[in-house]
Copies of this chain bind each other. A is one copy, B any other.
Amino acid sequence: MDNRTLSLFLHLCETLHFGRTSQAMHTSPSALTRTIQQLEETLGTSLFERDNRSMQLTKEGMLFQQYARESTNLWQNFRQSLMEETQELQGEISIYCSVTASYSFLHTILTDFRKAHPKIGMTLHTGDSEDAISNILEDTDDLAIGARPDKLPSKLDFKRITTSPLVMIAPAKNQQYNNATINWENTPLILSEKGLIRKRVDTWFQQKNIKPTIYAQVSGNEAIVSMVSLGFGIGVIPKIVLDNSPLINQVKTIDHKPLLKPIEVGLCAQKKRLQNPLIKALWDSLPNT
């Protein structure tokens, strides 16, 4: 029995949902389905009772679940003692971060770490920055680089890497959007569809008692820069995204008052996961700011 299969099976036992497990374990539903089928094939017994909308462990499934737990435990223990023996950390860490974060921080963070722990493998997943927190909460990745939410869930720990102001950007060539002359009610806005920045912007407008025109709600700060540069309207993004954007010359920043509260970008992990020596090592490799 191979450990990957066991993990998939165990996760599936928890969720009882192929879609969620496949997503959480970074594999396609089809691969998962077939892994389980094959498992049932080799065991010569079915493990899940699938009645089309829900599923349930069979008796044999529970037996196998117990075996799977013990077997993975055994494996973990072995890895542990091997590490103690060789005095060298080894294993896998998965990191989630936005494209921008991967450009701006990841390299810096990982180069030193890699030198110190060459045997730790990294799996990197990129996506919308706003998904970072939920990804961590759902155990999909070990660590994430993202913005600190105003209310950090108590399960999580956060370590700031940097702060970045929020900037308003407009198409560089458009005279209409000069500072202070903006008629907010008529200006199309391009915003994240959800998440921290969206909240800050909403609050900002509420404070000013303005009902803005929202032109587009997109996911991904990089997409906002694109749309703004094309002249669709004004957007709000972290300055760091702008600094790393190839489109930086196509847009200009607009002064605004009161200033939007800067976001804190940093490393995020579940507290319990920090007991894992690998994750802790990466965590500790970052200086406190």
CB pair A70–B81 under 8 Å, yes or no, is no
CB pair B86–A60 under 8 Å, yes or no, is yes
Which chain A residues numbered 14 to 65 have a C-beta less than 8 Å away from chain B?
43-45, 59-60, 63-64
Q: A119 to nearest B CB, angstroms?
A: 5
- Binary interface encoding of chain A residues 1-23 relative to chain B, with 1 for a CB under 8 A from any of its CBs, else 0: 11100000000000000000000
Contacts of A90 in B (CB 8 A): 44
Is A138 at the interface (CB under 8 A from chain B)? Answer: no
CB pair B82–A75 under 8 Å, yes or no, is no
Given A60-B82, A63-B82, 14 other A-B contacts at CB below 8 A?
A1-B1, A1-B3, A2-B2, A44-B88, A44-B119, A60-B86, A63-B78, A63-B85, A64-B78, A67-B74, A67-B75, A70-B74, A71-B74, A74-B74
CB < 8 Å: which of B59, B70, B88 contacts A85? B59
A interface, CB within 8 angstroms of B: 1-3, 43-45, 59-60, 63-64, 67, 70-71, 74-75, 77-78, 81-82, 85-86, 88, 90, 119
Contacts of A63 in B (CB 8 A): 78, 81-82, 85
CB pair B75–A1 under 8 Å, yes or no, is yes
Determine the distance from Cα of A1 to Cα of B67 in the docked complex, in whole angstroms.
14
CB pair B64–A85 under 8 Å, yes or no, is no
Q: A60 to nearest B CB, angstroms?
A: 6
